[in-house]
Amino acid sequence: MRRWLRHHRYAFLVAVRRLLSQPFSSLSNMLVIALTLATPILTASILISAQPVARQVSVSPEVTLFLKPDAPSSTAQQIAARLQADYAEKISAVRIAPRAQIYSRLKQDPAWADALAALPGNPLPDAVVITLKEQPDLARDAAALVQEWKKWREVDRVQHDSAWVQRLDAILGFVRVGLSMLAAVVALVVLATVFNTVRLQALSQREEIAVARLVGATEAFVRLPFLYLGALTGIVSGVAAVILAALALTPLNAALARLASSYGTQLALQLPDALSLALAVVVVAILGALAARWSVTRNTRF
Amino acid sequence: MIEFQHVFKSYGRGRNILADINFRIEPGEFVFVSGPSGAGKSTLLKLIGGLEPASRGSISVNGRRIDQMPPRARPYLRRAVGVILQDTHLLYDRNAMQNVMLPLTVIGLENSVAVTRSRAALEKVGLLGKEDMKPIELSGGEQQRLAIARAIVNRPSILIVDEPTANLDQDTARRIMEVFRDFNRVGVTTLIASHDRALMASYATRTLRIDAGRFTDMQGVAA
């Protein structure tokens, strides 16, 4: 066990020495990986920060049925009763918005009063506002119900008040796919960069590797410093990527805060939680070590 | 013990560098391998050290068939065989002590023990006091002795040496040969490739002569 630890300590120190012996080259490689990794971290930040917005809005999805203007006043009552009877499983509440009530409320609003005064009568239809029950596949269910209710004879138009949430969900889905592709790009960049770094290191350490083999070093002994080199490159790059992403969030959040305040709300992007970030760094370190192993196996056959 | 039976060595489809080599060296022997440049002396030593595989035939070192040994087992054989090649293969970015310590680091020896043993090896070859010097700061003879210290620090049972006195003046060559003699006296089987007839005349008890890949065993004579 102590011998094993001594080997690892030796390999670690050799890897650090090799990194420090070519500081500019090492830093350049790390910067490339860090910048590449910072992009999906920022994308994840946007995804994580936007998801609660969609979730929060979709807790009370409403569908409004606007009845035909010539429909008798009892029609709204009949439709409300029909909805409660036939769709009890999917509906949590039904509310009638009588045209007269809405008209008088709008007339009290100075923004609408003048426009309404110019009209010969009440142009508004009766409306039935339906609150749907929360369920896992709400967006798809709501869309199906909207299509069904549009066909009703008494109904003139159906407004799905949470349709924009669906759009947001679709955008987030798109971003999620984009994030997966970015993660794949990061993996490729890590593999290619570390592979090439280790290839150059292996070539420049040719003599040392030959001497180590001459005095009885196993292939594992020869490879271990390169594995540490790959893993260290991954760790340093990963940490640098998190720092870069955190730095980039400051101006982004300042701009976002101005935009959100114009809508009377507050919104700020947040980095993924510490565990996810640590996991990302570990994954990059493992990828670095794997690339190093692949490279050193291919490039030290002499 | 080193034993070759019908050993052939060629590179690719080229001509045989070594052809049908047969010999046996008993433990504790001091043997020269002689022959002109390009005769195959270095190749023979590399086969013994497991640095290159034979094309055909069987090679036994310390009772183990190295031609049948899987590649992952060869490093363990090399730890029992001290190899000093014509090019000393020193690490020029490390000092003398670090060069000598490398074989001990490879086997995972504790640092304090490795330092003690490395100092002892440096003392044996007359380089104590020069531990902190880089190989480039040492003379040709001292570099050769440093390579010897690195080869013997692991206490090998066999020492194989390729042209140890090439490019050295007579006095230095003689001092280096005395170092090998000393190791041989304590039981280390020593095999030296050389084409220096005067040197062999002074030290050889047995000479294996190779010429154009062919082989002659001359017991008790210098070739």
CATH of the domain at A103: 3.30.70.3040
The domain in which residue A149 lies consists of 62-161
**Contact at CB, B51 and A212, closer than 8 angstroms:** no
> For A55-65, how does the pLDDT look when each residue is reduced to its tens digit (9 = 90+)?
555 446 788 99
Q: Distance (Å) from the C-alpha of residue B47 to the closest C-alpha of chain A?
A: 12
Q: What is the mean pLDDT of residues A230-249?
A: 92
Same domain, A39 and A188: yes
Give the burial string for B40-69 (b: 16+ CB within 10 Å, else e). Answer: bbbbbbbbbbbbeebbebebbbeebebbeb
> For A123-156, how does the pLDDT look when each residue is reduced to its tens digit (9 = 90+)?
889 999 998 887 777 777 888 888 899 999 889 9
Same domain, A170 and A259: yes
Q: Give the model's pLDDT for residue B208.
A: 87
ipTM of model:
0.83
Pairing of strands A62-67, A155-160: antiparallel
Q: Which of A161, A185, A208 is the last residue of a domain?
A: A161
Q: Give the model's pLDDT for residue B223.
A: 40
> For A162-216, how does the pLDDT look when each residue is reduced to its tens digit (9 = 90+)?
666 667 777 777 877 887 887 888 888 888 888 888 888 778 788 888 888 888 8
Same domain, A92 and A177: no
Q: Which of A109, A137, A161 is the last residue of a domain?
A: A161
Same domain, A177 and A254: yes
Same domain, A41 and A90: no
The full DSSP string for B33-81 is: EE--TTSSHHHHHHHHTTSS--SEEEEEETTEEGGGS-GGGHHHHHTTE
Number of domains composing chain A:
2
Q: Give the model's pLDDT for residue A202.
A: 78
Same domain, A75 and A50: no
On whether any CB of chain A is under 8 Å from the CB of B108, the answer is yes
Q: Which of A161, A182, A202 is the last residue of a domain?
A: A161
On whether any CB of chain B is under 8 Å from the CB of A167, the answer is no
**Closest residue in A to B91 (Cα–Cα):** A208
Same domain, A171 and A140: no
Considering only residues 155 to 184 of chain B, which have any Cβ-Cβ distance to chain A shorter than 8 Å?
none
On whether any CB of chain B is under 8 Å from the CB of A14, the answer is no
C-alpha B61 chain-centroid distance: 14
On whether any CB of chain A is under 8 Å from the CB of B107, the answer is yes
Most confident range, picked from A152-161, B67-76, B149-158: B149-158
Same domain, A23 and A112: no
